[in-house]
Amino acid sequence: MKAGRPTALLVVTQSSGSAPGKTGFKMAITLGQSSFGTIGGGIMEHRLVERLQEHLTKGEPFTQHLEQVHHENAPADIQSGMICAGKQWIAIHILRPQEQWVVNRLADDRTRGQILLGPEGLAFQEADEPLSWETWYKESVGIPDTVSIIGGGHVGLALSRALTLLDFQLHVYDHRQNLDTLARVNCPKTVVDYHELGSLIPGGPHSYAVIVTTGFLSDAEALYQLIGKNLRYLGLMGSAAKIKRIFQNLKERGVAGELLDDVRAPVGIPIYNKTPAEIAVSIAAELIMRRNKDP
């Protein structure tokens, strides 16, 4: 847009069934078919890109909310060309010069607010305020999903590496000074007494925590500090015997049983993992699953 190249924005506003494009998927297309992102791929995406090139070439305004049904028996005007038995709605909008400021705001990591897309185009507001115009899509921006990894040992290091490509903001905590594995973590890290975790890690729908410390006492203290934080995800690594003992320890300290029921323990999806890297993959998969489920 800064270079003056016509650019179209596509956003999946709704999806159901086996639609390849999920709600929130985004794609940008420039004149000449340079593209970024995806709305699900396949023949559907290819056709829309080709169709948009005509509008981009003409330089004419274009905004549409399009239903795409992925079934061969769907009516021709909404048939996507795919047969995966789902459907999705896609908002398509050729960005206008006066919307450059919205794009600039979204490119700033400090921006907090909401992106809005509707028949009147692309907009941004700093708070969740009532709107005077119709919207097809609304999304909060600037509040990253943050994973706090408690334990900077071999598993903590492997997990930080596995999550780097998954759009999580990361922070690793450990109580040990001069730890070799912690030194190799390529994200923010803090050496801290685990008794202080409760004041350092915020709760809320964008906050995840994974406890992978070195032993029973540190695991128990970390869990005790985080158990009431209303986190989106709280997981604890360990054997069944160790987890049972830690839970009993916390109950003796006054922690209600229903709070412990929400802890993922043992952490991760069971894939018969053995090595730190394999454990990290199983935890990363579970975090993805939790993030992509409805709150």
User: 235: buried, middle or exposed (CB in 10 Å: 19+, 13-18, 0-12)?
Assistant: buried
Residues 113 and 158 in one domain: no
| pLDDT score of 129 | 72
Shared domain for 44 and 126, answered yes or no, is yes
pLDDT of 110 higher than 80: no
Considering 141, 157, 184, which residue would you say is the last residue of a domain? 141
Which percentage of the chain shows pLDDT scores above 70? 99
Cβ(189)–Cβ(205) under 8 Å? Answer: no
Domain containing residue 152: 146-292
Across residues 13-42, what is the average pLDDT?
90
Token readout for 29 is: 């297309």
Supply 58's token pair: 């003409």
- Which whole number is the average pLDDT over 2-17? 92
The pLDDT assigned to 146 comes to 94
Average pLDDT over residues 87-102: 94
Residue 10 has pLDDT above 90, yes or no: yes
Please report, for residues 147, 149, 157, 159, 188, the alpha-carbon distance to residue 171 in angstroms, rounded to integers and kept in the order given. 6, 6, 11, 11, 5
Q: Do 182 and 264 fall into the same domain? A: yes
pLDDT tops 60 at residue 295: no
CATH number at residue 229: 3.40.50.720
